[in-house]
Structure 1
């Protein structure tokens, strides 16, 4: 949650008895990690540890209802490899998905055409109950820079068809790439109309920048969606705490037809923010400053459910409360994507005087938003980069964002403004590596922003080091508004801010060899379905001459 999100405070949820019992038997995080976090999670939620094999196999012919209610997805395109995902759930709003605790054989096909006349690969994967019958299939030895179609079969049931693609060869001189960036899908605050439009858009892949689900309770009629034909069961009417809670919340989101359509149409590259676990958490500290050993059990459950329900590769499989989400993808020599995790390793938020005014601790070099290891990985990757564009998909606003004109201006302490030493080190690393075309992609704040990244944000005449594009939310914040009431004050406080729009939607970015173009696409309402999509504004930034200009 950030200042722009305007989300109501919530009471700390009561921990399930099994979580409290497990926490009493487990020490601090180091002990939890060294003694096997997966075993601790198994104790807490009464499921077999990750990697365990179920003893029996279900005859898939006995599945009487459609098991592909959650759709299909693909993710993290590599030059010769695609990752395919589905999860079997004939009864998605039941804890077991409507299947027994037995593994299920799932057949998959990959083809050059959507009618599957030209099959490229086919095989069988096992959907294990330990992973809630999720399937992750990594298909390698494929042609580079190629579109493929895929589908799954279990028994007599066949999934919808998905479309995916491989990336260009790592050293190819690719001339163009178009991707979309999305974030923040609070189910009870609006329809996923932007996802429907995204499914119809012409992009190579989608970056999801966090808050795929929200942990808050969803009331029985779906909140502002006001479904008249879909009363939700009580399993959603409390905050997510246990593994079962998180699994069910993903099922709620993934049964949305517009969300399913977007996943089927494009490969996704995902990273998380706070609401996939708990609002405003930092490392092993939760929003209520509860015992770290207790919160880590909740975090382990959240991380496991995230992996089960997202198109992620094996290296992102959690080990208890730990998962390496930061990773690097390439699009030929055109772009390097350094996908960050600014939540799992950060120091706790520093609230200055309690009114979001930075205090001396905000500049403490010991405090970090990325953790030292990830920070070194990012900067070392820039030194090794041969890409024309260096793109950093991450979660919270990177550029300075003052909220008023006072001498001690308020900022969001949950963003990089609360970790200014981290930001200074990262920008110094970019300069030292000679990065000329830097683009940071951000979600979180439920508005669209376009920033020039300044060498010194307090000096309008200082050099422009890159561009930050902030994607608005899919539904969080309800309908929103084009401009805030204090727009004039806001722009004077932030002269490096080139664009603002508070409607829902997404952003598309086209990278070329001469310039990048960002199109901010919005819908006028999400509290009623079927809103049209318009382009609110478009900007370009040129290769070797950073600085946003209207397109």
Structure 2
């Protein structure tokens, strides 16, 4: 994304802000080497920036910066090997990667109550601008990360390079797809869930830590820390701001609100509170997402000027329990209008936001398969009860909302299923000739499912039974998009293997959507 031109007035204003912060005891407003912090009689720390840096949830004047101090990331107590005391962590934001033109700086305290996680909401930035940032604790300086602010409200800004990912199982393979995505230098990354996996692991090429299914606060902290030690994941976080939402494996496979899978497990709500707490500690989220007991506000909206509105959903925390014992079937209960995958409050929030949107593209970032997906040949049907098929009335209200509110360019982004799909969204999935209202782009996994192959078992049957499907692919990868006022282009990126590191990336298929003309066009 091109950097907005720097005027003398804007640079003076930014520098003045940094000078004021420096005068208050923060980092110096120059790009000179950072002075060592006085440690007194305490033993100096070794390098605590073992988990990298990240940024997220940008708007036109602010962004969240994140890091976590950890000397021994896999320490069994979940505290990262840090002494049980508070540390002053200094931060800088600059206009250049050499950190010579610092425009914002400050200091924040990190303590054991959050496993020494750091969240900084940096305000006073300029819209549509590329920035760089870093942290310091005592004599140690973190790597430099790159972040961006969104365009000024009411303006389009430059074309947006956005990539989206899902399903990164550390035990399932190497995170090379994160590295390849980072090499493309996107301006925004969406993670649509299953950032970690809660299980023991299995027979994959890497071992999980702890080597068991995780349940406790310490367990979740260690598991998140293990993922963050991966250099490919660190590179992906450092290259651009992320907007994250969870799915199920951040807590437990296929849970539904307060109901575990299988139901009846003792201690599930305590487990949920621990998982949510650590998810916040580990992600570049704003204070508005701080958990309150077993609840955490994760659905939210990110506005990219007039170009795109990103409506990020939570389809786990508020859903009704899966119908028919979560068994793929033609389940009558799936049609019950009283059942919801979003809950009524979030559904209203989404529909109201779509109705008010003035963006060219309304992008719905969410977790599970949205379009109909019949697995059975012939007139009989069989659907997944964990996806929107299991909440058909809930989905239909969203589809009807597209038409009733005049949403001309809806794009649903999905993860979860470990395969690439490209789907047209039909007014009535039972009628292939019904109107096409929008599109769904489904990203494959980073590692989950192993090396994979081009066409999955049963893939051709799915294409035959579901004419709205235009692509199915069972390799690992991600989706890279380019969004302009006139079109959205989606490149489905694939890797030949993840069982060993270093795989190359290729584009398996490219689809475009023309603004005002819903539907996928293979290019």
TM-score, length-normalised on structure 1? 0.86
Q: CA contact under 8 A between 1:472 and 1:506: conserved in structure 2?
A: yes
Shift of 1:291: 5.3
Report the equivalent of 2:66: 85
Of residues 481, 484, 488, the one that matches 1:516 is 488
SS in 1 for 2:324: coil
Of residues 67, 72, 79, the one that matches 2:53 is 72
Shift of 1:473: 0.4
Of residues 83, 90, 101, the one that matches 1:100 is 83
Q: Kindly indicate whether residue 232 of structure 2 is the aligned counterpart of residue 258 of structure 1.
A: yes
Taking the aligned partners of 1:453 and 1:175, their CA distance within structure 2 comes to: 28
Shift of 1:172: 1.0
Q: CA contact under 8 A between 2:45 and 2:138: conserved in structure 1?
A: no
Taking the aligned partners of 1:406 and 1:60, their CA distance within structure 2 comes to: 77
Q: Kindly indicate whether residue 204 of structure 2 is the aligned counterpart of residue 224 of structure 1.
A: yes
Assess, with a 3 A threshold, how the Cα gap between structure 1 residues 59 and 210 changes in structure 2: closer, same or farther: farther
Measured against aligned partners, the alpha-carbon deviations of 1:311-364 in whole angstroms (never above 9, x if no partner) come to 101001100110010001111111111000000000000027x75113221111
Q: CA contact under 8 A between 1:59 and 1:104: conserved in structure 2?
A: no
Q: Kindly indicate whether residue 252 of structure 2 is the aligned counterpart of residue 278 of structure 1.
A: yes
Report the equivalent of 1:483: 455
Q: CA contact under 8 A between 1:218 and 1:236: conserved in structure 2?
A: no
Assess, with a 3 A threshold, how the Cα gap between structure 1 residues 364 and 59 changes in structure 2: closer, same or farther: farther
Q: Kindly indicate whether residue 512 of structure 2 is the aligned counterpart of residue 531 of structure 1.
A: no
Taking the aligned partners of 1:60 and 1:312, their CA distance within structure 2 comes to: 35
Report the equivalent of 1:20: none
Q: Kindly indicate whether residue 381 of structure 2 is the aligned counterpart of residue 400 of structure 1.
A: no
SS in 2 for 1:391: strand
Q: CA contact under 8 A between 1:209 and 1:394: conserved in structure 2?
A: yes
Report the equivalent of 1:116: 99
Report the equivalent of 1:197: 180
Taking the aligned partners of 1:362 and 1:388, their CA distance within structure 2 comes to: 33
Shift of 1:63: 3.8
Q: Which runs of 4+ in 1 moved over 4 A?
A: 57-61
Report the equivalent of 1:468: 440
SS in 1 for 2:109: strand
Report the equivalent of 1:19: none
Shift of 1:410: 1.3
Shift of 1:546: 0.9
Taking the aligned partners of 2:489 and 2:303, their CA distance within structure 1 comes to: 19
Report the equivalent of 2:299: 326
Shift of 1:429: 1.3
Q: CA contact under 8 A between 2:364 and 2:413: conserved in structure 1?
A: yes
Report the equivalent of 1:347: 320
Taking the aligned partners of 2:142 and 2:205, their CA distance within structure 1 comes to: 27
SS in 1 for 2:125: coil
SS in 1 for 2:295: coil
Shift of 1:58: 8.0
Shift of 1:64: 3.2
The count of corresponding residues between Structure 1 and Structure 2 is 484
Assess, with a 3 A threshold, how the Cα gap between structure 1 residues 323 and 254 changes in structure 2: closer, same or farther: same
Report the equivalent of 1:430: 402
Taking the aligned partners of 2:39 and 2:291, their CA distance within structure 1 comes to: 26
Taking the aligned partners of 2:433 and 2:340, their CA distance within structure 1 comes to: 28
TM-score, length-normalised on structure 2? 0.90
Taking the aligned partners of 2:42 and 2:451, their CA distance within structure 1 comes to: 45
